[in-house]
Amino acid sequence: MPTAKRSAKDGDLSAFSAEYDGNATSELLVEALGNRDAEARWEISRRLLDDGADASPVGYGQSTLSILLGAHRWLGAHDGELAQRLVDAGASVNYRERRGRLAIHLAALTRAAADEDRRQLYEAFLAAHPASP
């Protein structure tokens, strides 16, 4: 029997919506960020963030940003925008995941069709800590 957690991780938005009770937990967000389908990852994560999911929790050597960038070999079409939403919702760009890498390191390691595809990721990370005058 499907659950919201399982649908967030492996399903699409319609499957998730059928099981989702409106309780936007960080646990559901973490599952959605690990969804291998880039479009489903974007749609489900966006819904959870819109509903107030907390993007700041860390646990087991991972943060929401490190899961988004470390769980996928290729950047999805909306991963830059999703990273920006996570940062805006409190995700730390300075959290070191269990191997000691920052989100910006993971972004550089994640494959992209072109370096330009990474621009929104870098802008999200740098905007979190603007340069001093």
Structural domain boundaries in the chain: 4-127
What architecture does CATH give domain 4-127?
Alpha Horseshoe (1.25)
Out of 27-36, 67-76, 106-115, 117-126, the most confident range is 27-36
Asked whether residue 131 carries a pLDDT value surpassing 60, the answer given is no
Can you give the pLDDT at residue 63? 93
Q: Average pLDDT over the chain, rounded to whole?
A: 90
Confidence of residue 81 (pLDDT cuts 50, 70, 90): very high
Cα gap 91→66, rounded to integer Å = 10
Confidence of residue 108 (pLDDT cuts 50, 70, 90): confident
**In this prediction, what percent of the chain has a pLDDT beyond 90?**
64
Can you give the pLDDT at residue 132? 47
Cα gap 74→16, rounded to integer Å = 23
